[in-house]
Amino acid sequence: MHKKERVAWIHEKLETLYPEVPVPLDHKDAYTLLIAVLLSAQCTDVRVNQITPHLFLQADNPYDMVKLDVEQIREIIRPCGLSPAKSKAIHRLSEIIIEEHQGLVPESFEALELLPGVGHKTASVVMSQAFGHPAFPVDTHIHRLAYRWKLSAAKNVEETERDLKRLFPMSSWNRLHLQIIFFGRQYCPARGHNPEQCPICSVLGCRMK
């Protein structure tokens, strides 16, 4: 298959396998999604979804969050890992949202990426999943599969994001990044991957383990 054909085939295959793409992180609005995504750094979505109900029971909005001190937040989110840095970021970004954005999560990449603990990937998730703006959040799993499927030879997630945005229509980005994540978890893991049993790698002839 030529690259254009491979891109179209992968897109169609993912649409067939994952016609519905629920957001993996439990949330009720942009603020709770932002906090959940921040907590997901180097932590599984399953673990985050176990922890956030305890946190959001006490504070599911920035006004209540700033009433907690950093140590209280840290104790609740400890199982997610990196709790010292994450708790400080959650408290401070909540203050900034109140002070500079009238208590609402800002609806722009620039403003989101200025918040403590919020990088481009986190901002992209919030922009796409909370606000519906076209974005293509690329994590290490998408980066790995893009390389494995010969969609990108980029050395980092930023370059992979640019490559994937060029290959796939903008209208597909918000669904597609989730479809790739779901596929990677189910069929195409980093370790113990059997290309011959993978619905995509077996057709494309991928041999990378």
Per-residue pLDDT tens digits for 88-147: 999 999 999 999 999 999 999 999 999 999 999 999 999 999 999 999 999 888 999 999
With CA atoms as reference, report the closest residue to 173 among 44, 2, 5, 14.
Answer: 14
Write down the catalytic residue from 4, 45, 86, 139: 139
Query: What's the pLDDT score for residue 1?
Result: 77
Domain ranges of the chain: 3-21+136-204, 30-130
Question: Token pair 């519906």 is at which residue?
Answer: 132
Query: What's the pLDDT score for residue 191?
Result: 87
Q: Give the pLDDT band (50/70/90) at residue 174.
A: very high
Query: What's the pLDDT score for residue 207?
Result: 62
Per-residue pLDDT tens digits for 26-75: 999 999 999 999 999 999 999 999 999 999 999 999 999 999 999 999 99
Write down the catalytic residue from 121, 150, 163, 165: 121
Residues 6+ apart with CB under 8 A from 58: 64, 68, 72, 76
In the annotation, is 121 catalytic?
Answer: yes
Question: Quick one: tokens of 103?
Answer: 């208590």
Class of the CATH domain delimited by 30-130: mainly alpha
With CA atoms as reference, report the closest residue to 90 among 57, 114, 115.
Answer: 115
As a whole number, the mean pLDDT across the chain is: 95
pLDDT at residue 208 greater than cutoff 80: no
What gap in Å lies between CA 180 and CA 86, rounded to an integer?
Answer: 27
Distances (CA, A) of 141 to 72, 145, 146, 184: 32, 6, 9, 7
Note the CATH architecture for domain 3-21+136-204.
Answer: Orthogonal Bundle (1.10)
Query: What's the pLDDT score for residue 206?
Result: 81
Indicate the range of 3-12, 49-58, 106-115, 187-196 predicted with least confidence: 187-196
With CA atoms as reference, report the closest residue to 193 among 147, 137, 139.
Answer: 147
